[in-house]
Structure 1
Amino acid sequence: MDTNQTDHPIAEARANLSELLSAVRLLKRTYFLASRGKRQAALVPVDLGELVEQVGGPDKAAQLLRGHLTEATPTP
């Protein structure tokens, strides 16, 4: 299993879950689990998951990040 790759088929991830979890925990990597080439879920470091939880869940975190990216994007 290539832990440098960010997208992994769900069946492959299931077979190598402890290796992926170690990389998430120790190397702070994020992995996407895919089915038929489409991302379905993500394995993220605990601190990131807890931040998402603190701001009100995934939808609120995405909204905040999108707003921040819009503000941070320089205009020509």
Structure 2
Amino acid sequence: MAKLTNYEVGERLGIDFTHASMLKTGRRLPSARLLVELWDKFNLSGDDLLGAYKAGRPAFATYMQEMVFTAPDEDPAPETPEPGK
């Protein structure tokens, strides 16, 4: 899993990197608009996203760190056959 920076998450969501950092550390909860953006841009489960939101800032921060600030590694390039095989 690749780690996304506050800048990268902020850029995807249309927010400042400091706002992304506050979401990541639990200092802030997202607005309704931002919840929709998170769900849409990161293909998150609506039930899990809302569950983390309802559980409060520490739970939401953990969810953000696990589901948003990590991204699946890129698919490796397809192997090219060696000449003569």
TM-score, structure 1 normalization: 0.28
RCO comparison, higher one (Cα < 8 Å, 6+):
2
Which is richer in strand? 1
Q: TM-score, normalised by structure 2?
A: 0.26
Instruction: Report the structure number with the largest CA radius of gyration.
Output: 2
